[in-house]
Structure 1
Amino acid sequence: MVNQGSKFIVLGILTILPLFVFPAGNVQIPKDSFWISVKDTQRILLNLNYDPIGLPETYSSDIFTQVCETGECKPVRIKLFWDLMGQYLHYEMPDGAILTKLDHVPFNENDYIKFGIILSSSQSMLEDFDITLLPGSREKASLAQIDGITGATPKSISSDIVDGAVYTCHTIWHLAHGAVQDSIALLTLDIADKDLMMHLLNHPNDDYQRWCIDHVFLEYPKEREFLNLIFSKINNENIFIAKHILRQLPEAILAQDWVQQVVWMKYGELPYSLQILTLRRFQAILLSSSLESKISGYKNSANFEQSKLLDQIRFKK
């Protein structure tokens, strides 16, 4: 399933100190694991995890990193998880590992809860926060120092850090939401066979469905099994997915008579906005002559906007 040639992907992750560092030479790694280069010879190992039926489910990485330049802070050991599109999911602490704040004070239960909330947010002040401007030990920076450097108020930045663990929050957040996400999406594209594609098309995660729809239109434009499954989603159960299909459906596919028949069969069941979108998509192509009488039958019940679009539809002679 996995293309071995895809196992070396270079990315730049915003960080200052070394992450999980490995030598540059050849190192034996487990099946379905991937080296991710972060800087020159420094790499992290990304692992592909499977669900109970043997299909790819998540990616994870065991991270080891220093949390301050002076060496006075304890290194962080943590395991991060992402979904198949590269969206951060959650973290786990390896057996015996803990997170600490300044002066080696261990995180308490509330600190771990807040840390999880911080990592779960893809929109954070940490994204643009320049930690290199903090004086001295990164972990010993106070909220007042942060306020003076960034212009953020202590109240606003405090929601994005565990006090006393500024650099830990900054480093791990950028790992969770950094360039590794794009590389994960590329890895999934590389390992996606038909079984995985079918699984993701039926997945409740809308991002998975949209990704698969786009991939099928690009890579499997003649695969009726995939296309029929996609067209079955043009309904009012999930308007966002239906709209995505109608918007992204290539003209080369829509130009086929059988596709036009399938799409038009959905028309009467669709909400108004999707009916309008369907008619607008039909403007760009010649429709099958077998649809002319069916489409004309809707004119009597159409409103002004629909009638105008229906009148502009052209049919093959």
Structure 2
Amino acid sequence: MKRIKYLLPLFLVVVSLSGKKPDQVQYFHAPTFDAKHLENSFELVDFNDTIPNDTLFIVKNETGLIHSYFRNILTGVCIDGECRLLDITLHWTVTGRYLGFRLPQGEFLSKSEHEPFLKKDYERLHELLADPFSALGNYKIDELVPKVDENDVDGVTAATIPGVEDYIVEDAVYSTYTIWHIVHGNTRKLIENHTRENLQPSLLVEILDSKNNSDRVWGLENLPGELTRTTELEMKLFELIANEDPTISGKAIESISPAMLADEQKQLQLFSYFDNSSFSSQRKILNKLEKAPFLASTIEFRLAEKLSSLNGSMIKNVLDLFTIHQIKQVESEEIIAGLLDHENEFIARKAFQFLEKHPTDNKKIERQLRKHENRF
């Protein structure tokens, strides 16, 4: 180690004389959305952590939308009884997702025995920081390395506790832990709150249009109920119903408000996804239509036509929808009456219960009900 300590200043002198500077270490993931031009502003906030810094930088694009955030970190990381300054800038997307990090020119991160990070170590750190569900969130820093006898000659290189190796850079447990907790701690919560307070339709469209699914989920989960729904935003919400990810599809359906379904065309647009949706999403669509001010006659008839091909649980959902909106088409009533002869006792009973409570002047249906009244 003494040789390395003496060689490092010599290397810096050579670089200085040659007129070249060491490459700046920086790693970034794709942002939530691209921008042509970025401008920085800042706010003084209480991060409620041990970092002696109260400045959160807010990055906006050319139209004034929040694009990302960053924070300059200057703190000590103690390794083997000695502390080294951690000087790093951490970046988050507009949704609070880890975006990347940058070190000042000539700065580097250290491992045990103060070995500088190699390129593979920085790449590994970048990968680990992107995981918000890391096991590091379950530990305190003094729990990561087993306590050893201070007279043990191997004490400075003690292994980390079992199960944590997959979540740290090798021989850099303290640095990995410290940076991960800054990335996913109070700063992230403050960033998310700041974005929520500044949400507007155009920003939400950018978030929902992200190629990153966690960004999209964040946008759907944080959609303000009182927010004005622009045409562009509504189109994006409907578009996401067809997303292959069931989480995104389901949340997109849940984001459709009853006020939107006061428009018959929007009801039809929502229902257009029914046939190609999963069972779960189909139920969500029916639940949304229950909350609509009325049920479009076209949807009523199409659902009635599908009854014979649906399973018992879905038939119950459709009949519940029909009960709420009191169907009026004779064709729909007769299709439901046809279920009275269904071989599935559950389905036949549900049809009977529905028709028994549904007022009708259709004599044919009345005869069918009398025929089956002793059966149920």
TM-score (norm 1): 0.71
Query: Which residue number corresponds to residue 121 of structure 1?
Result: 131
Say yes or no: does 1:88 pair with 2:112: no
CA displacement at 1:55 relative to structure 2: 4.2
Equivalent residue of 1:66, what SS?
strand
Query: Which residue number corresponds to residue 60 of structure 1?
Result: 70
The structure whose Rg is larger is 2
Say yes or no: does 1:267 pair with 2:274: yes
Aligned pair in 2 of structure 1 residues 172, 210: CA closer, same or farther (>3 Å)?
closer
Q: Select the residue among 167, 172, 181 that pairs with 1:174.
A: 181
What letter corresponds to residue 194 of structure 1 in structure 2? P
Q: Select the residue among 13, 34, 37 that pairs with 2:46.
A: 37
Aligned pair in 2 of structure 1 residues 143, 299: CA closer, same or farther (>3 Å)?
same
Deviations for 1:196-245, whole angstroms, at most 9, x for unmatched residues? 22222222223333333344451326544422331233225454322112
- The structure with higher relative contact order (CA 8 Å, sep 6+) is 1
The answer as to whether partners of 1:62 and 1:79 remain within 8 angstroms in 2 is: yes
The answer as to whether partners of 1:213 and 1:245 remain within 8 angstroms in 2 is: yes
The answer as to whether partners of 1:73 and 1:102 remain within 8 angstroms in 2 is: no
Equivalents in 1 of 2:301, 2:185: separation in Å? 54
Query: Which residue number corresponds to residue 73 of structure 1?
Result: 83
Equivalents in 1 of 2:118, 2:315: separation in Å? 65
CA displacement at 1:162 relative to structure 2: 4.0
CA displacement at 1:251 relative to structure 2: 4.5
Q: Select the residue among 86, 108, 121 that pairs with 2:118.
A: 108
Query: Which residue number corresponds to residue 298 of structure 1?
Result: 306
Query: Which residue number corresponds to residue 200 of structure 1?
Result: 207
Equivalents in 1 of 2:138, 2:272: separation in Å? 49
Greater displacement, 256-265 / 174-183: 256-265
Query: Which residue number corresponds to residue 357 of structure 2?
Result: none
Deviations for 1:96-152, whole angstroms, at most 9, x for unmatched residues? 11122344432233433333333233233432333346778xxx75425x5xxxxx3
Equivalents in 2 of 1:69, 1:142: separation in Å? 10
Greater displacement, 172-181 / 126-135: 126-135
CA displacement at 1:78 relative to structure 2: 1.0
Equivalent residue of 1:46, what SS?
strand
Aligned residues: 277
TM-score (norm 2): 0.61
Say yes or no: does 1:307 pair with 2:322: no
Query: Which residue number corresponds to residue 159 of structure 1?
Result: 166
- Aligned CA-pair RMSD: 3.5
Query: Which residue number corresponds to residue 4 of structure 1?
Result: none
Equivalent residue of 2:215, what SS?
helix
Q: Select the residue among 210, 213, 230 that pairs with 2:220.
A: 213
CA displacement at 1:183 relative to structure 2: 0.9
Identity, in percent, stands at: 25
Equivalent residue of 1:68, what SS?
strand
CA displacement at 1:65 relative to structure 2: 0.8
Equivalent residue of 1:86, what SS?
coil
Equivalent residue of 1:49, what SS?
strand
Query: Which residue number corresponds to residue 158 of structure 2?
Result: 143
CA displacement at 1:281 relative to structure 2: 3.7
Equivalents in 2 of 1:52, 1:210: separation in Å? 25
The answer as to whether partners of 2:47 and 2:187 remain within 8 angstroms in 1 is: no
Greater displacement, 163-172 / 49-58: 49-58
Aligned pair in 2 of structure 1 residues 65, 52: CA closer, same or farther (>3 Å)?
same
Equivalents in 2 of 1:39, 1:112: separation in Å? 27
Deviations for 1:154-209, whole angstroms, at most 9, x for unmatched residues? xx333334455433222211101112111111111233333222222222223333
Equivalents in 2 of 1:120, 1:237: separation in Å? 23
Equivalent residue of 2:316, what SS?
helix
Aligned pair in 2 of structure 1 residues 295, 59: CA closer, same or farther (>3 Å)?
same
Equivalents in 1 of 2:110, 2:79: separation in Å? 16
What letter corresponds to residue 199 of structure 2 in structure 1? A
Equivalents in 1 of 2:128, 2:243: separation in Å? 35
Equivalents in 2 of 1:115, 1:236: separation in Å? 31
Equivalents in 2 of 1:299, 1:165: separation in Å? 61
What letter corresponds to residue 104 of structure 2 in structure 1? P
Q: Select the residue among 236, 243, 255 that pairs with 2:250.
A: 243
